[in-house]
A and B are shown apart, each in its own frame.
Chain A
Amino acid sequence: MSNRDAIVVENLTFQYPDTETPVLKNIHFTLKEGEVLGIIGRTGSGKTTLAMCLNRLVPTVIQGNLEGTISVFGQDISQRSVADMADKVGFVFQEPENQLSQMTVEEEIAFGMGNLGISREEMKYRIQETLKQVGLEGFEKRSPLALSGGQQQRLAIASVMAMRPSIMIMDEPTSMLDPRGKNEVYDVLRKIKTYGMTGVIIDHEVERMASYCDKILVLDDGEVIMFGTPKEVFSELTLLHEMEMNAPQVTELADRLRKELQIDVGSPITVEEAVKAFQIVSIK
């Protein structure tokens, strides 16, 4: 895998107009090409604002005072418009309904590709491909408004995927998906990795993030509290609990066994790790 930096954020501070304190405070991190970054943090910690800085929605559409620099593939993006960024950075919004604007499902997917100079043939192909990936085959002619909540969320993901961005940012993309759908979205993240694409996902699904993300960034009150591998971050349970956050269930379980019963199985963060760790205490 290449070692190119996909995203470099330095000294990023952002403040909305008419507010006393910044929502993002002196943020630093670097994400390599092909990596998947998970952003976690409680409600109101600044996750969505941070993500929107990466495609220039903040501060060009959602205005305020931005300081610091963001580079995408080595280029400072401070002079770029949202439209400029669209071919590189795809964005799946938190509320799918707000993202959907077309009369039919297939037009919805074509819409995003419209400005990228893609041929009709290629568009048709990608519409079928992405509908299949998100499990919406057969819904081509349906109005996006006549879809269930989870189906709308699947459509919003498909229309961004069809644009094949180099960086895919998803803001709580699985919140309304059934468990299998959630797994499929995370599988897509793993897949885009193998194409050298880079992913950023905001979510509360710590169990899945622990096994699919390369890096986790913990945001609290606009500050980066931790940035590291899932192992590093989810082992810091005391810190997470102070922020009213949680680690994967298996990690929480191990922690309680250690604290309440002095049984030490380490800090597994996935089911596989936990199964191994718990064999230590195997009895007949």
Chain B
Amino acid sequence: MEPFIKVTGVSHVYPNGVTAIQDVNLEIGEGEIVAVLGSNGSGKTTLVKHFNGLLKPTTGQVTVGNMNTKKERIAKLSSLVGYVFQNPNHQTFLPTVRQELYYGCKNLKISEEETEKRVKKAIELFELENLLDANPFDLNSSKRKEIGMASIMAISPKVVVLDEPTTGQDHKGCKRVLELVKMFHEHGHIVVLVTHDMQLIGELNCRVVIMNKSRKIADDRADVVFKNQELLKTADLQPPQVMELANQLTYLNRNESYLTIDSIVKWFKHNKKGLEEERKIGTGS
């Protein structure tokens, strides 16, 4: 099957002459979750802005659902690819949260009934009931980011690109982002994430693409990447804290990956009986 997003030999040079990405090749298939990781300035945002035509390749080619992003109008691409900006100051909003949430569906001529259903769901997830008449610009940046995500949820585009969705979010906000990603995934959307949030990656254990100094240097599953010490060092990454603990507990199963709290609790659940016996022997002798 043809990949839905296809990046072929893409480089991007900004007007000031900075080469932000170089010779990147990448294919993303239907229903995939892909996280783009890497140091500050490595080219992550630049790369994903090519998916909805916000940026065009200087050389090479990007196709999304068989459309060449260089030839399509932004409007057509943006109904297919939703993008939540890293910096919510760069996202344009309508004067009220309510208008913002309804706008996308109206624009895409989605039926009133379906629109209501979707908007209601978004309002519930992001707890926006009391903010519907607020002007997004009066809200703080983490809230604005949530409104960006809520309106994408209403539009429900085939491809969802979230640039650092958990930045500035509290614990609950981070859990909500995780829920959102899983929900899109379950409904068959492609989700592309840019993030520095290693706990989020641990929870998803998804495919990760690593950018380094404007080049793609790895493309593998998170558990594989998190075990590759050299790669972690090159790309300034660090596994979630529980994995750092698990790495030092020699009695855990070496063939397993412990990327989450859950995974370690599970090990103890399965081995509790043995543990108790061992301890009895230990204290008895």
Let me know if B241 and A278 touch, CB within 8 A. no
Q: Which residues 122-157 of B have a CB within 8 angstroms of A? A: 140-143
Query: How far apart are A42's CB and chain B's nearest CB, in angstroms?
Result: 4
Q: Which of B56-64, B112-120, B163-171 contacts A (4 or more CB under 8 A)?
A: B163-171
A275 CB–B CB distance under 8 Å: yes
B111 CB–A CB distance under 8 Å: no
Residues of A within 8 A of B278 (CB): 283-284
B279 CB–A CB distance under 8 Å: yes
Let me know if A271 and B38 touch, CB within 8 A. no
Q: Which of A4-12, A63-71, A230-238, A244-252 contacts B (4 or more CB under 8 A)?
A: A244-252
Let me know if A253 and B171 touch, CB within 8 A. no
Let me know if B265 and A253 touch, CB within 8 A. yes
A137 CB–B CB distance under 8 Å: no
Let me know if B236 and A179 touch, CB within 8 A. yes
A196 CB–B CB distance under 8 Å: no
Residues of A within 8 A of B142 (CB): 43
Residues of A within 8 A of B87 (CB): 97, 149
Once A176-B164, A261-B268 are accepted as A-B contacts, the answer to whether A42 and B39 lie under 8 Å apart by CB is: no
Q: Cα distance A256–B249 when bound, in Å? A: 17
A221 CB–B CB distance under 8 Å: no
Q: Which residues 74-105 of B have a CB within 8 angstroms of A? A: 86-87, 89
Let me know if A146 and B14 touch, CB within 8 A. yes
Place the interface of chain A in its size category: 35 or more
Q: A257: nearest residue on chain B (CB-CB)?
A: B268
Let me know if A179 and B171 touch, CB within 8 A. no
Q: Which residues 126-158 of A have a CB within 8 angstroms of B? A: 135, 142-143, 146-151, 153-154
A274 CB–B CB distance under 8 Å: yes
Let me know if A245 and B275 touch, CB within 8 A. no
Is chain B's binding surface mostly helix, strand, loop or mixed?
A: helix
Among B41, B249, B269, contact of A261 (Cβ-Cβ < 8 Å):
B269
Let me know if B40 and A177 touch, CB within 8 A. yes
Place the interface of chain B in its size category: 35 or more
Residue-wise interface mask of A (260-272) relative to B, using a CB-CB cutoff of 8 A (1 in contact, 0 not): 1101000000010
Let me know if B89 and A97 touch, CB within 8 A. yes
A108 CB–B CB distance under 8 Å: no
Query: How far apart are A212's CB and chain B's nearest CB, in angstroms?
Result: 14
Let me know if A275 and B248 touch, CB within 8 A. yes
Let me know if A253 and B242 touch, CB within 8 A. yes
B23 CB–A CB distance under 8 Å: no
Residues of A within 8 A of B140 (CB): 43, 94
Among B18, B143, B167, B238, find the residue whose CB has the most chain A CB atoms closer than 10 A.
B167
Residues of B within 8 A of A142 (CB): 16
Let me know if A244 and B172 touch, CB within 8 A. yes
Query: How far apart are A198's CB and chain B's nearest CB, in angstroms?
Result: 25
Q: Which residues 237-261 of B have a CB within 8 angstroms of A? A: 237-238, 240-242, 244-245, 248-249, 251, 261
B216 CB–A CB distance under 8 Å: no
Report B's interface with A, CB cutoff 8 A: 14, 16, 18, 38-41, 45, 86-87, 89, 140-143, 164, 167-174, 196, 198-199, 236-238, 240-242, 244-245, 248-249, 251, 261, 264-265, 268-269, 271-272, 274-275, 278-279
Question: Lowest 7 A-B CB distances belong to which pairs?
Answer: A150-B40, A180-B236, A179-B238, A249-B241, A42-B170, A283-B278, A148-B41
Report A's interface with B, CB cutoff 8 A: 41-43, 94-95, 97-98, 135, 142-143, 146-151, 153-154, 172, 175-183, 204, 207, 244-246, 248-250, 252-253, 256-257, 260-261, 263, 271, 274-275, 278, 281-284
6 CB < 8 A contacts A-B: A43-B170, A181-B39, A181-B236, A204-B174, A256-B265, A281-B275
Beyond the given pairs A147-B41, A179-B236, A271-B248, 18 more chain A to chain B contacts, judged by CB atoms under 8 angstroms and listed by A's residue number, are A43-B140, A98-B89, A142-B16, A146-B16, A148-B45, A149-B86, A151-B40, A153-B40, A176-B86, A180-B39, A182-B196, A245-B171, A253-B242, A256-B265, A261-B269, A271-B245, A278-B249, A284-B251
